[in-house]
Structure 1
């Protein structure tokens, strides 16, 4: 299993977590509250956490392709919800702390 963690510094972390989870729940299994969310994508899993002025996403998948897809889905949807903050993408890193290969 491959994992990566993304972080977006924002004071609206809980709001964005809930928006993402509500949106994803239309197509996949999701559980969430104001601070945590679990999303079961067909290509992997995402655990979202609103904490300390940031939205943190930990994604897991069977290979790098699955991780790339999860990163893309989360970033694309966050761009829509966080447009006022000029969001482009989360700061993603591997478990070793290195940025993922693109």
Structure 2
């Protein structure tokens, strides 16, 4: 399964992690705490971890063609919550 990771600098990592999980909890299987999360999306699995300065995002797509779409949907949703700051997502 194809995967991708990004480390995003933000002092609000825990807030964004929790907002994303609460936003999707009514539609998808989610597990989360203030520092770690797992979201089972139709395109694949998203894992997040937060510390005081960074939000780490790990994606595992069901197939290679889905990975760009999975990245896009996760980024768009996090950027909505982070509208007061500009985040940089550098995927590896």
Q: Same-fold call, TM > 0.5?
A: yes
Q: Deviations over 1:35-94 (max 9, x none)?
A: 00000001100110002511111000132222112111111111110010023x52111x
Which position in structure 1 is the counterpart of 2:38? 38
Higher relative contact order (CA 8 A, sep 6+): 2
- CA–CA distance in structure 1, aligned partners of residues 24 and 67 of structure 2: 17
Q: TM-score, normalised by structure 2?
A: 0.92
Which position in structure 2 is the counterpart of 1:65? 65
* Counterpart secondary structure, 2:49: strand
Q: TM-score, normalised by structure 1?
A: 0.83
- What is the total number of aligned residue pairs between the two structures? 92
Provide structure 2 residue ranges, at least 5 long, that are not aligned to the other structure: none
RMSD: 1.3
